[in-house]
Amino acid sequence: MKNEKLRLNKYIASTGFCSRRKADEYIEAGKVSVNGTKVTELGFIIKSKDKVTINGEIIKPKNLTYIKYYKPAGYITTMSDEKGRKTIYDILPEEVQNLKPVGRLDKDSTGLLIMTNDGDFINELAHPSVKVPKVYRVCATGKLTLNDLVLMEKGIEIEKDKIAYALARIVDFEGKNSVLEIMLYQGLNRQIRKMLDILGHPVISLKRVSFGPVDLSGLKKGQFKYLKPKQIQEIKNYLKKLNKNNSK
């Protein structure tokens, strides 16, 4: 980035410190300085040689890394846990310990996590207005009916004034249990589990198999793969298309 000029919020996001939207909040709050001078102007332009600090901490651009990870059961998706529960960072290799997940999977769930140090990328993929589809393979107790699937699509109140929606289809029946493929556009906490509990069909197992155009191909539980630049560009193009369609 030799003598390159760019917006301050974009520079901050390029360091992986946070997203551009969050950077704007820091700027407006007077927490950002450039070459020792506090900056509160949104859209402020800096050069590559400028020194940027947030709350006195120098931030610098770093190589952006993107991986897909097959989370096993028994681990929560946070950096640390005050209750002492195991987290994915207890088992992730040191080389990717600095990456943050896009969204979460609860402790008992398995499957795909996309992880990166690109704050903008996280915000774009996870923002509810973008409506990136996430697909899950779910085994639930009992035999669901067509009416259950209709109720899931119409929406189920999982908490007071909180309606959850899902597109589901029955893939198979295993004994007395149902195997489902469920697509979500929301990201509510334990959404699928709560919906199926209310329908009287508690979840036995839940695995996320895809997140937008990314899937679990080539991975076993506990493994990760770096996403290549071409794949990252494909995801960004996919997001642009979604944004365009959502704005119509």
pLDDT tens string 90-107: 999 999 998 999 989 999
**Residues forming beta bridges with residue 184, ordered by sequence position:** 134
Does residue 163 surpass a pLDDT of 50? yes
The whole-chain average pLDDT of the chain stands at: 91
Among this protein's residues, is 106 annotated catalytic? yes
104-145 pLDDT tens trace? 999 999 999 999 988 888 888 888 888 899 999 999 999 999
What CATH code is assigned to 134-211?
3.30.70.1560
Does residue 34 surpass a pLDDT of 90? yes
Is the Cβ–Cβ distance between 132 and 148 less than 8 Å? no
Same fold, 5-59 and 134-211: no
Scan for tokens 């589901």, then name that residue.
Answer: 168
Is the Cβ–Cβ distance between 111 and 207 less than 8 Å? yes
Annotation: CATH topology of 66-129+213-246: Alpha-Beta Plaits (3.30.70)
The architecture CATH gives domain 5-59: Roll (3.10)
| Every domain of the chain and the residues it spans | 5-59, 66-129+213-246, 134-211
The residue from 106, 108, 197, 215 that is catalytic is: 106
Residue range 2-16: mean pLDDT, rounded: 79
Query: Residue 232 — very low, low, confident or very high, per pLDDT cuts 50/70/90?
Result: very high
Query: Residue 63 — very low, low, confident or very high, per pLDDT cuts 50/70/90?
Result: confident
Give pLDDT, residue 1: 45
Give pLDDT, residue 61: 74
Higher confidence at residue 187 or residue 141?
141
Residue range 167-193: mean pLDDT, rounded: 95
Give pLDDT, residue 247: 64
172 burial level (CB within 10 Å; 0-12, 13-18, 19+): exposed
Shortest CA distance to 112 belongs to which of 34, 19, 215? 215
